[in-house]
Structure 1
């Protein structure tokens, strides 16, 4: 072995190759031509890059355009009934060859109108198998193009939603998605690419994620490019600067969203305060109306969801040490716990609820700003809660104290296995966690929250060293 040999060059993974697939719908057609469709000139694109092709089948014109724009389909699937294919296959093949298309790349699959959920899945499985057979594999990614020109009735809707489903599964990327807008008597027929409509599914998914899980990532990913583009367009040299309230809202959503996913109630509040502290709903609405008019209502909803989570305003620097502890802070953190439960983030909900109980004790003790976050102070409050819940009880407990002791034990029992990633001998039982939080733990906390006396834990000793614990 040559000890002085140079190291082998690093192997870089090649980007995935794009495999283009095309689905062409064929119907019966009534024109007096071999294919059943009238001949027209299909046009693609605008300006100097526009191209046109004379054809009777729009899908063949689309095939040729993809080929001429360096996106040649590896396979072309003609979706139609067996009778339509038997009647038209020869004429379609002749026209394909006339357009210099490789007919050897074409094949046919039977197609039915999806009149039931069962028929939808019956259509989807062969399409998925075809995509996997010709498009998806090691180092390959499929771009799926659709010609919907001659699709019958509900088939365009079905194919659109099926392709969106396949996209979400990571099998395809949408390509050209459109139809030839044929009008009798006109010499040219524009082929309309409607792929931009598919992005509505991304918006619907982002809104659902935000409402269901308070996940702001999808909304900010979609809104931020629109806001940046609008600000650049609105900027005029020497003129007034574009409004920045919408940008502040999106920054708040992004930063607070990250803190929310990490399960940090104070950081959520501080991020919202940083970006939205001095903004009003009216200012956000006006900025959205100026920069992103279609999304005014969405911006308002985002602001109304974030604004109640803001922590109190503090001076710059060491902000957490300046945070006051009052009833409003208890309500704010409780609201966050409820959101974590709705989002299914039970580990974050249980951790935050346990810390909220400690904080509630410190509120009853009358802690100064920042003092309630000191480790020694919180450890003392935890120790008193452990003492209250110890067995046997340190002293006769009132009914409220007994309920608080029970709540503390139940929160710990649910939270501890999750906080330690299940690293214990017993198997962690997750079913029923949501129900326990919604129907037991949170109602119990709300019932006790207004009773300052029970949270003072008077006469309750802290456990001896080695007892209690986090």
Structure 2
């Protein structure tokens, strides 16, 4: 069962005759609560506001001796238990920082699926940042929910003290993770989900199309990729006009997103349908070959050998079709299979040349051997990958396969007209 826990900090404020509890009595005002909470302890106000199940208060031995009992008494009427978590007296060492981190992330303190309210009002030095980052870490490893990061803007002699929820800034790290995933792998699920959460039709349409582009790209479908890419520029321009503050993280990403899809945009304008894109690819055959080669390079850079070898093999067939100088439908499996068999004739051992299924053009004859040499190399790598390394002793280690892919890029570059 999910438990709502308040993680708070209590400093060792000196007690005086005028202020026997050390902490001053003040009114804590939340923006969505009409009446403020009047108390000496900000943790008291937060615990009541969020109706937490328990309070975990991080205290030094001095603070525990001077203030823990007072805090427990302040919350006595709520029946909310207050548990101390002992920490060392603050210093500037890394050991102190890791001690705090280890205790915040202790599974006995924060369990899987717990809902967490962090109070950083009284935390010391680097603790607010540490608490913030610890929470993000816990969200990933224990699937905790961040309910709020609360900060009380206490100014001595003024009342009320306004309470701010800073959890909105945790989204920045969510954006950071999503951007990193997109840049490293091309996957946009997290990025699109964050964009959709912003709301607004232009942003939602852009996020939806970005997902479609990513799906086509990662499925190694060059026609679908260029079709999806063609629709993104117009949608991106609409998103640029979004001036809402919460849209700022997305706005900062737009140039990076554009840089990714522009290299795969064949038409530099929206293509209405997938069929229309196939026709465009036939007309702009050399441009489309270059786009496919850019996709192969992108796969190699991102460490995606399956997509790289799969498309590289098909790219060689498309290159042979380009040199054939006919009106052959290069998207017909039957015609592409004929070209594949023709290329295979140039790969040894070939004791007796087979009768070709096509009448090769002079340009195809001129380039066939060069294509076949690369074809043989790609075929071996692709078969090794497709058979999952079960073809011993031919099977190679993954690192060696990647090395072959790195050299493949140069070989394909040399074949491009």
Other structure's SS at 1:318 match: helix
- Against the structure 1 CA distance between its residues 35 and 383, is the aligned structure 2 distance closer, same or farther, given a 3 Å change threshold? farther
Partner of 1:445 in structure 2?
A: 412
Would the aligned equivalents of 1:35 and 1:57 in 2 still touch at CA under 8 Å?
Answer: no
Pairs aligned (count) = 396
Cα distance change on mapping 1:449 and 1:113 into 2, 3 Å: farther
Pairing partner for 2:345 from 387, 393, 418: 387
For 1:298 and 1:60, the matched residues in 2 are separated by 41
The answer to whether structure 1 residue 79 and structure 2 residue 58 are counterparts is yes
Give the drift of 1:165: 0.9
Quick one: structure 1 residues 269 and 50, their matched pair in 2 at CA, closer, same or farther if it must change by over 3 Å?
same
Q: Does 1:318 align with 2:286?
A: no
> How far does residue 82 in structure 1 lie from its aligned partner after superposition?
2.0
* C-alpha deviation, 1:42, in angstroms: 1.1
Partner of residue 298, structure 1: 253
Secondary structure, in 3 states, of the residue corresponding to 1:309? coil
- The question of 1:226 aligning with 2:198 is answered yes
Cα deviation, 1:302-347, whole Å, max 9, x if unaligned, reads: 2342233124476757346523152211110111112222322221
Per the alignment, residue 453 of structure 1 pairs with: none
Distance 2:155 2:101 in 1: 32
Deviations 1:32-88 (CA, angstroms, capped at 9, x unpaired): 334422111112233xx4342221221121112222xxxx32x32111222221232
Q: Pick from 73, 79, 92: which aligns with 1:102?
A: 79
Choose from 47, 50, 68 the match for 1:63.
47
Q: More deviation in 335-344 or 108-117?
A: 108-117
Unaligned 5+ segments in structure 1 are 1-16, 232-243, 451-470
Work out the CA distance in 1 between the residues paired with 2:143 and 2:242: 38
TM-score by length of 1: 0.75
Instruction: Name the counterpart of 1:356.
Output: 315
The whole-number CA distance in structure 2 between the counterparts of 1:220 and 1:205 is 12
Partner of 1:288: 240
Q: Tell me: CA distance 1:159–1:210, structure 2 relative to 1, closer, same or farther (3 Å).
A: same
Please give the per-residue CA displacement for 1:1-23, whole angstroms capped at 9, x wherever unaligned.
Answer: xxxxxxxxxxxxxxxx3211111
Change in CA separation of 1:362 and 1:258 when aligned onto 2, cut-off 3 Å:
same
Root-mean-square deviation over aligned CA pairs:
3.1
Distance in structure 2 (CA, Å) of the matches to 1:175 and 1:185 = 30
CA contact (8 A) 1:81 1:111 kept: yes
Question: Does 2:34 match 1:50?
Answer: yes
- TM-score, normalised relative to structure 2: 0.83
| 1: CA distance, partners of 2:389 / 2:86 | 50
> Is the CA contact 1:284–1:300 (under 8 Å) kept in the aligned structure 2?
no
Which position in structure 1 is the counterpart of 2:209? Answer: 252
Q: Which residue does the alignment assign to 1:335?
A: 294
Structure 2: which 5+ residue stretches go unaligned?
354-364
Please list, as runs of the form range in 1=range in 2, the aligned pairs for 1:363-378 lying within 5 A after superposition: 363-368=322-327, 371-378=329-336
The equivalences for 1:13-28 within 5 A come to 17-28=1-12
Which digits, 9 at most, give the CA deviation of each residue in 1:241-262, with x for residues without a partner? xxx5x66543331211111222
Structure 1 CA distance, aligned partners of 2:320 and 2:141?
Answer: 48
Correspondence 1:430 to 2:416: no
